[in-house]
Structure 1
Amino acid sequence: MCKHMSTLGAFAAISLAALVQAEEMAKAPAMTDEAMITSAMAAAPARVGAGATIVAMSADGKMRTLREGKNGFTCMPDNPATPGPDPMCMDAAAMVWAHAWIGHQTPPKGKIGFIYMLKGGTDANNTDPYATQPATGNQWLQTGPHVMIVGADDAFYDMYPKSADPDTSVPYIMWPGTPYQHLMAPVE
């Protein structure tokens, strides 16, 4: 198992969000490893996906490597339990940010990471990084194909709209005012 996957697995095992996702995935139709690899690769441009490490979360919340990569990106397949496609592919700095988010820790500032979600995202809350469903007072959004910049300094994020109910057709900040704020930039 590659070194970053054992760390991700440890964070995923303790994360409430990961456990909820694992429970949802256990109820969803199973995907073959080949289908998960195809799904994960679709999150990024073809050359990035082709060289990326591909991982998947099992029903117990642990990550397993489906294919080792060589370009520093890690891609995850769509979660079949969520509405709509949501595969993602991230660079090493974005993996550090994701580990912090999953582990409810503060991510390092100035360690800028990049995430592709070229198939779009499922419904998401723009005010609570840990919301798992719509609730009174939270803003639930549908996102199309986009990329994300994570881990930048606050001054970078201050240049973009930080509305609780943003226009998702232009760049905006998701989870503003939290340690996990990041730039969402549509690509269509």
Structure 2
Amino acid sequence: MKHLVLTIAFTFLLIGCNSAVENEKPEPEPIAEQPEQVETLYKAIDTDEALIATALMAAPKESREGCTVIGYNMAGEFVTLKEGNNEFICLADDPNKKGFSAACYHKDLEPFMARGRELRKQGKNAGEIFDIREEEVKSGKLSMGKGGETLHIYFGASDMYDPETSEVEGAQYRYVVYLPFATSASTGLPEKPIAPNHPWIMNPGTHRAHIMISPIKDNE
């Protein structure tokens, strides 16, 4: 009888110890929740406000508020879409053309840019515009600034944008620094691109000589 009581007591003791050990096991760590991926809702650039917002994306971020924005409005009129007070002029995307292309340039380039628009309106082709402006810059009739003025180009195949950020779907940047009549010899730059995002000189020796910096491709 005594042995039976001891056996039962020992059995309960083992069960209690096992329960204590089980209770001391650490709780499993909760699985971290994966951040919810929010799909960007792009929409068409179909208002003057959208034209302004996306044109400003071509400008340096810290300068966008003070930029002047010009270009075709949704009614097809070439107008000043936004008055500004700094050194930048943004040219909005033309809503009547496929894809997207906006630009931002130093105000000292405006006579040169405006002359190009005027000649295109007259029906001149690219070669004729080049020759006319070449002669006018050489003669001093047409100013391109002091040299070193920059053109920022924001472009892409899509004409859809994110209203939250004003970013255009898939758009990239290209930069042009005008140095009239500069050459490879005067700048030390190659006349052909060596690799994406590397500077090179285009139209060397002419009024349209400029440093070109093309974008890095998405898969690089």
TM-score, normalisation: structure 1: 0.57
User: 1:4-48: CA deviations, max 9, x gaps?
Assistant: xxxxxxxxxxxxxxxxxxxxxxxxx87311001001100012222
Q: Deviations over 1:153-185 (max 9, x none)?
A: 41576422223x764431122334543221112
Three-state SS of the structure 2 residue aligned to 1:43 is: coil
Would you say the 8 A contact 1:110–1:152 is kept in 2?
no
* SS of corresponding position for 1:79: coil
Q: What is the percent sequence identity of the aligned residues?
A: 25
Q: Give the Cα separation in 1 of the matches to 2:204 and 2:194.
A: 11
Q: Which amino acid aligns with 2:109?
A: A
Query: TM-score, normalised on structure 2?
Result: 0.50
Aligned to 2:188: 159
Please tell me whether Structure 1 or Structure 2 has the larger radius of gyration of its CA atoms. 2
State whether residues 52 and 70 of structure 1, in contact with CA within 8 Å, keep that contact through their aligned partners in structure 2: yes
**2:152 is matched with which residue?**
116
What is the Cα-based RMSD across aligned positions, in Å? Answer: 3.3
Report deviation, 1:70: 0.5
Quote the Cα distance in structure 2 between the aligned partners of 1:147 and 1:121.
Answer: 14
- State the distance in 1 between where 2:55 and 2:47 align: 12
Q: Where in structure 2 are the equivalents of 1:7-156 lying within 5 Å?
A: 31-57=46-72, 63-80=78-95, 81-83=97-99, 85-102=100-117, 103=119, 104=129, 105-106=133-134, 107=137, 108=143, 111-112=146-147, 113-117=149-153, 119-120=154-155, 144-155=172-183
How much has 1:111 moved relative to structure 2?
2.1
Distance 2:65 2:198 in 1: 28
Equivalent in the alignment of 1:26: none
Q: Which has the higher contact order (CA 8 A, sep 6+)?
A: 1
For 1:62 and 1:78, how far apart are their aligned partners in 2?
13
What is the distance in 2 between the residues matched to 1:60 and 1:179?
34
Contact 2:51 2:73 in 1 (8 A): no
Structure 1 residues 92 and 77: alpha-carbon distance in aligned structure 2, compared to 1, 3 A threshold: same
Partner of 2:124: none
Mapped partners of 1:62, 1:148: distance in 2: 27
Change (3 A) 1:76 1:38: same
Q: Distance in 2 between matches of 1:62 and 1:181?
A: 31
Change (3 A) 1:82 1:158: farther
Structure 1 residue ranges (4+ consecutive) displaced by more than 6 angstroms after TM superposition:
none
Alignment correspondent of 1:180: 208
Q: How many residues align?
A: 137
Q: What CA distance in whole angstroms lies between the structure 2 residues aligned with 1:61 and 1:162?
A: 38
Query: Which sections of structure 2, spanning at least 5 residues, go unmatched?
Result: 1-43, 120-128, 138-142, 158-170
